[in-house]
Amino acid sequence: MFAQVAVDIAHSKIDRLFTYIVPDTMQLELGNHVLVPFGRGNKLAEGFVLMLSTAPAEPDIKLKSVFKLLEPYPIFTKEQLSLAYWMRETYRCLLVDALRLMIPTQLRGGHIKEKKQYVVRLAEDADFAAIRASMMNKDGSLKAPRQVEILEMLHKTGAPIAYNEVLKFLPGSSNSLNALITKGFIIREEFTIFRTPAGVLKQEDTTVDLTASQENTIRAISFGMKTKRGTFLIHGVTGSGKTEVYMQCINSCIENGQHAILLVPEISLTPQTMGLFRARFGNKVALLHSRLSAGERFDEWRKIRLGLVQVAVGARSVVFAPFDKLGLIVVDEEHEQSYQSETSPRYHAIEVARKRCLINNATLILGSATPSITSYYRAKTGRYTLLELPERVNLRPMPKFKIVDMREEYLCGNTGIFSNMLLDELDACLKAGKQAILFLNRRGYSTFISCRSCGYVFQCKNCDISMTYHRTENRVKCHYCGLTETVPELCPNCGRKFIKYSGIGTQQVHEQMNYRFPKAAALRMDYDSTRSKDAHEKILSAFARKEAQVLIGTQMVAKGLDFPDVTLVGVIDADKSMYLPDYRSAERTFQLLTQVAGRAGRDEIPGVVVVQTNSPLHPSIRFARTHDYKGFFTYELAQRRAALFPPFSLFIRVLLTGKDESQLYLEALHIGRELEKAALIALGSGNSKDLIYLCASPSPIKKRQGDYRYQVLIKLLRTERTAQVLNAIYNCINENSKERFFTVEINPNDLF
Ligand code: ADP
Ligand code: ZN
């Protein structure tokens, strides 16, 4: 037998399979993890068996043999192997880079640590009474009282006991215990145990009275799972009970003997939601989130691979869960940007999910209160089946929007952070003993420091961005590279003392909150306050226990939270995301407003949302205020069609980075010309208008972490020729990438 092995070294020069002889004593399967001698020095390298054959692929070469099989089971399913090939094609990545996404890092580099434990039990053929008798002296006293004690304990328990437990129970008994093992009365066995991060795995019986829309949706999907499958898009308003729908669909999937995956954004993997899944699925679910230790992560993965669980819940990468009977994938909050990977392989989890569902003949559910324009467009044009949950459960009203024009507020003399409307609402909310969430998408204290005298702006030395002032540490920080410096007293440019702090961050909101409402306790949740392990959980559970009345935070508080006592949401500055130089800024602002508003009024008392803005008539605000997703979609799609933005076109960004700016610019111009030529040839004559835009220029953030950044931005009409052009673009990049490394991104999350 011969094995074709992908060696686990990420390098474009060895992005192919190598043939090895399989020794007669070794049984290999596809997907096995092996050690092979590699290179001139025959150093041992890890590898993955991707093909097996009876004849070598390269007959003339002297072949080496596989050295060792590492895991007794294939670490990849056959489906994952074909998925990896698909990813290499689609995302132009190395095969091993695709494969590495599918296994826990612990499996690689010889770091595997299964947690072993020894247990002891009575030997099957041991006759307790006879052994006991044999240990008795003639006068009735015991020869070895300790040994008898151990035997009695095991006899009474009637089950294996952990070796260490015996020693804990009967201190100083290790010699006696080992003697019994040597005599063969007691058997010692090795057990692999699984680390269970959340402790108890009790499954609870829950029955809810489904709303009519929930019932219809579940019925449609269950029917779909048995027949045509395909993709469903659930558009359900915030608080409409989407999670219940997902859980019931997952249930019917596993009742059919199949497996299911649920993807949620990392920030929604709160203890609260995980408790919900544990309660519902008990031992049947593996939960993968970023706070697991490497060992716990490895164990959860193994439970999936070895078929010990039927459901996997996690963030983006759980889409690769190695189930072999995949029946359903659910993607919650499908519009979230975090589903797209920002490092190579730049995969989008929804695309991977669609591919896996296609291979496995499985069903895909996408759900959101604010579906992405692209997904909703697909549903409207018949590629997805649209299902709607138009009302909140128990017919609770949607939160009421109150829009405050901050320009008027200013003209009337209020120059503070909080409008009078927000102050009044906060006051009423706190007096009623309820809770409030204040949202601001900027951390720190002041986001901008400048000199009043000469206009100098304090920027990061390494990045083309202004420094943020953090009052808690009394330092300025760069949010891109992490550089921190002491606060300047004098302007480094003109030497005068007119330093001005502007731009509000969460720390300042917190300070103002304490000042205005000294009796109310407020918690702050942002990147800075959640750096330590479990900080995130501690803040949320303190808020849940009502130890604080107000939660202030960045996008971490905007989504997914379900606190019944929150009746007020304040958006401190809605304009931040509105005017970014990105065609998606209206879409993102609408999503953010709708999502953050959805945190209010989830129980009996209706919610209120106060939105502070300088642009009260902006469409994102107008449509969010009336909870009119469809209106927003129609408006936004018309804009996109007129300007030929996605979904009607595709953005490709080729990024070049380096220290020498002028050199970089010349190279960007050169590759831009080459790309244009290649694209036009691929399009063929008469189709040149497909290439809407191609421009080489500095990136909007021209310098980052000490490197200059130039880019070629390409906008391409989506037609049946698009794949062809992409191919030509990738080939052109490959041919030119000898001296310069290019990052190619298709529809990147941001265009900075
Ligand atoms: P969404 O994800 O759509 O915003 P959730 O799934 O978080 O909404 O549901 C909102 C709340 O309603 C949750 O607390 C959930 O337990 C509850 N819920 C869901 N379905 C029902 C139902 N049929 N009857 C009563 N409560 C429900
Ligand atoms: Zn920086």
Helices (H), 158-261: 163-169, 174-183, 212-226, 242-255
Paired sense of beta strands 115-122 and 385-389, if any:
unpaired
Cα(556) to centroid(ligand 2), Å: 23
Residue 202, pLDDT score: 56
Beta bridge partners of 230: 363
| Residue 262 contacts residue 284 (beta carbons within 8 Å) | no
Residue 57, pLDDT score: 73
130 — pLDDT class (breaks 50, 70, 90): confident
What are the φ and ψ backbone dihedral angles of 482, each rounded to 5 degrees? 85, 0
Ligand number nearest to the C-alpha of 333: 1
Token readout for 729 is 């673009």
Task: Note the pLDDT tens digit of each residue in 404-414.
Answer: 999 999 999 99
Residue nearest to atom 18 of ligand 1 (CA): 241
- Relative orientation angle of helices 271-281 and 535-544, to the nearest 10 degrees: 80
Cα(702) to centroid(ligand 2), Å: 12
Nearest to 558 by CA among 439, 725, 705, 436: 439
Residue nearest to atom 15 of ligand 1 (CA): 241
Q: How far apart are the first and last CA of the chain?
A: 52
Ligand number nearest to the C-alpha of 705: 2
Residue 205, pLDDT score: 66
Q: For residues 233 and 366, what is the distance between their CA atoms, to the nearest angstrom?
A: 5
| Residue 470 contacts residue 448 (beta carbons within 8 Å) | no
Q: Which whole number is the average pLDDT over 176-197?
A: 80
Query: Quick one: what percent of the chain has pLDDT higher than 70?
Result: 96
Residue nearest to atom 22 of ligand 1 (CA): 210
Q: Does the structure show a pLDDT above 90 at 556?
A: no
Distance of CA 4 to the CA centre of its chain: 33
Longest dimension (CA), the chain: 110
The binding-site residues of ligand 1, defined as CB within 6 angstroms of any ligand atom, are 208-211, 214, 236, 238-244, 393-394, 562
Q: Does the structure show a pLDDT above 60 at 226?
A: yes
User: What is the amino acid identity at position 524?
Assistant: R
Q: For residues 652 and 641, what is the distance between their CA atoms, to the nearest angstrom?
A: 18
Helices (H), 329-372: 349-360
Residue 139, pLDDT score: 82
| Residue 277 contacts residue 248 (beta carbons within 8 Å) | no
Which of 511-515, 557-561, 653-657 is predicted least confidently?
A: 557-561
Task: Note the pLDDT tens digit of each residue in 280-336.
Answer: 998 899 999 887 888 888 889 989 998 889 999 999 999 999 999 999 999 999 999
Cα(240) to centroid(ligand 1), Å: 6
Token readout for 90 is 């689609």
Atom of ligand 1 nearest to the CA of 238: 4
In whole numbers, what is the pLDDT of the chain averaged over residues?
A: 90
Q: Let me know the angle formed at the C-alpha of 190 by 174 and 120, rounded to the nearest 5 degrees.
A: 45
Q: Which element (helix H / strand E) includes 484?
A: strand 484-486
Cα(315) to centroid(ligand 1), Å: 21
Atom of ligand 1 nearest to the CA of 243: 6
Residue nearest to atom 5 of ligand 1 (CA): 241
Query: How far, CA to CA in Å, does 3 sit from each of 23, 79, 573?
Result: 10, 18, 60
Which of 98-107, 125-134, 718-727 is predicted least confidently?
A: 125-134
196 — pLDDT class (breaks 50, 70, 90): low
* DSSP-assigned letter for residue 22: P
Residue 200, pLDDT score: 45
Residue nearest to atom 26 of ligand 1 (CA): 393
Task: Note the pLDDT tens digit of each residue in 534-548.
Answer: 888 899 989 999 999
Q: Does the structure show a pLDDT above 70 at 721?
A: yes
Token readout for 505 is 């961050």
Query: Quick one: what percent of the chain has pLDDT higher than 90?
Result: 61
Nearest to 581 by CA among 648, 659, 645: 645
Secondary structure E strands in 333-453: 363-368, 385-389, 400-405, 435-439, 446-451
Atom of ligand 1 nearest to the CA of 240: 3
Q: Does the structure show a pLDDT above 60 at 199?
A: no
Atom of ligand 1 nearest to the CA of 237: 3
Q: For residues 670 and 665, what is the distance between their CA atoms, to the nearest angstrom?
A: 9
211 — pLDDT class (breaks 50, 70, 90): very high
Pick left, alpha or beta for residue 594 (phi over 0 → left; psi -120 to 50 → alpha; otherwise beta): alpha
What are the φ and ψ backbone dihedral angles of 524, each rounded to 5 degrees? -115, 130
Which of 147-161, 382-396, 644-658 is predicted least confidently?
A: 147-161
Residue 203, pLDDT score: 64
User: What is the amino acid identity at position 145?
Assistant: P
Ligand number nearest to the C-alpha of 483: 2
Q: Does the structure show a pLDDT above 80 at 232?
A: yes
Residue 448, pLDDT score: 83
Nearest to 232 by CA among 21, 43, 387: 387
Q: Which element (helix H / strand E) includes 235?
A: strand 230-236
Residue nearest to atom 23 of ligand 1 (CA): 210
Residue nearest to atom 17 of ligand 1 (CA): 241
Q: Report the residue among 562, 565, 591, 603 best suited for mutation to probe ligand 1: largest number of ligand atoms under 8 A from its CB.
A: 562
Token readout for 665 is 């610019």
Cα(273) to centroid(ligand 1), Å: 12
Cα(700) to centroid(ligand 2), Å: 15
Task: Note the pLDDT tens digit of each residue in 451-499.
Answer: 888 888 888 888 888 889 998 888 999 888 888 988 888 888 898 988 8
Q: Does the structure show a pLDDT above 80 at 560?
A: no
Task: Note the pLDDT tens digit of each residue in 378-390.
Answer: 999 999 999 999 9
Cα(214) to centroid(ligand 1), Å: 10
Residue nearest to atom 12 of ligand 1 (CA): 241
Residues of 215-244 as b/e, b for ≥16 C-beta within 10 angstroms?
A: eebbeebbebbeeebbbbbbbbbbbbbbbb
| Residue 524 contacts residue 472 (beta carbons within 8 Å) | no
Q: For residues 515 and 77, what is the distance between their CA atoms, to the nearest angstrom?
A: 59
Which of 19-28, 92-101, 142-151 is predicted least confidently?
A: 142-151
116 — pLDDT class (breaks 50, 70, 90): low
Cα(237) to centroid(ligand 1), Å: 11
Cα(245) to centroid(ligand 1), Å: 9
Cα(244) to centroid(ligand 1), Å: 6
Q: Report the residue among 243, 248, 268, 332 best suited for mutation to probe ligand 1: largest number of ligand atoms under 8 A from its CB.
A: 243
Report the helix count and the strand count for the chain, using DSSP H and E.
21, 30
Q: Which whole number is the average pLDDT over 559-566?
A: 87
Q: For residues 110 and 493, what is the distance between their CA atoms, to the nearest angstrom?
A: 55
| Residue 480 contacts residue 705 (beta carbons within 8 Å) | yes
Cα(507) to centroid(ligand 2), Å: 20
Ligand number nearest to the C-alpha of 476: 2
Q: For residues 629 and 15, what is the distance between their CA atoms, to the nearest angstrom?
A: 46
SS (H, E, C) 78-115: HHHHHHHHHHHHHHCCCHHHHHHCCCCHHHCCCCCCCE
| Residue 345 contacts residue 378 (beta carbons within 8 Å) | no
Highest mean pLDDT among 192-206, 213-227, 579-593, 734-748: 213-227
Q: Does the structure show a pLDDT above 50 at 168?
A: yes
Q: For residues 425 and 570, what is the distance between their CA atoms, to the nearest angstrom?
A: 9
Q: What is the CA radius of gyration of the chain?
A: 31
Q: Let me know the angle formed at the C-alpha of 124 by 119 and 129, rounded to the nearest 5 degrees.
A: 105
Residue nearest to atom 20 of ligand 1 (CA): 241
Cα(243) to centroid(ligand 1), Å: 7
Instruction: Note the pTM of the prediction, 2 decimals.
Output: 0.86
Residue nearest to atom 10 of ligand 1 (CA): 239
740 — pLDDT class (breaks 50, 70, 90): confident
| Residue 28 contacts residue 34 (beta carbons within 8 Å) | yes
Q: Which whole number is the average pLDDT over 82-91?
A: 95
Residues of 448-461 as b/e, b for ≥16 C-beta within 10 angstroms?
A: bbbbeeeebebebe
Q: Report the residue among 245, 246, 366, 393 best suited for mutation to probe ligand 1: largest number of ligand atoms under 8 A from its CB.
A: 393
337 — pLDDT class (breaks 50, 70, 90): very high
Atom of ligand 1 nearest to the CA of 236: 3
